[in-house]
């Protein structure tokens, strides 16, 4: 399991898109240019990321003037785990504990392998956090920190 730049940028873009939806209760249409500028991401790279998220059903898009991307579901219904898996694949640190892309390892007794048992725990802990943290949860947490630091916008 490794968070690539693709995964990081995709997560940051989705969090950014969820923020206005949570504040105003509506899905705001956002253009690639706007997201790329604010998050300091290459627009061409971001376009590829957004297309993957759209193809996975996490985003919708509208073509033409005033078009852009918007969340396909409420921010509380999209988890970081869903986004991560679309962009970076399985959460497992080794393939022999993956639930999406299992491959046998080279150890003599996979069933009792100590490393596999521990890596299974690591996979489960990471998946539990990512799969139980929604974009809405992140927005709430981010807002609380901003308020505590006196950085929130009224």
Long-range contact list for 74-77, CB < 8 A, 24+ apart?
74/21, 74/136, 75/18, 75/21, 75/22, 75/134, 75/135, 75/136, 75/139, 76/134, 76/135, 76/136, 76/137, 77/134
Domains of the chain listed by start with CATH number: 5-148 (1.10.10.10)
With beta carbons less than 8 A apart as the criterion, state whether 135 and 59 touch. Answer: no
Q: What is the arithmetic mean of pLDDT over 52-72?
A: 93
| pLDDT, tens digit (0-9, with 9 covering 90-100), for 109-126 | 888 989 889 998 999 999
3-state secondary structure of 60: strand
The model carries a pTM of 0.88
| pLDDT, tens digit (0-9, with 9 covering 90-100), for 18-28 | 987 666 666 77
CA dist 65 and 7 (Å) reads 28
């Amino acid at each position: 399991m490794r968070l690539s730049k693709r995964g990081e940028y995709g997560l940051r873009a989705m969090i950014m898109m969820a923020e206005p939806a949570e504040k105003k209760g509506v899905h705001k249409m956002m253009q690639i240019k706007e997201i790329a500028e604010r998050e300091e991401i290459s627009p061409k790279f971001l376009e590829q990321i957004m297309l993957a998220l759209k193809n996975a059903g996490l985003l919708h898009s509208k073509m033409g003037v005033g078009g852009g991307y918007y969340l396909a579901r409420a921010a509380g219904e999209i988890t970081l785990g869903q986004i991560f898996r679309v962009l970076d694949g399985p959460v497992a640190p080794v393939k022999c504990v993956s639930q999406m892309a299992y491959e046998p390892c080279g150890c003599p007794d996979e069933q009792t392998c100590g490393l596999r048992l521990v890596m299974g725990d690591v996979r489960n802990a990471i998946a539990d956090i990512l799969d139980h943290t929604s974009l809405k949860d992140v927005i709430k947490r981010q807002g609380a920190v901003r308020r505590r630091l006196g950085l929130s916008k009224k």
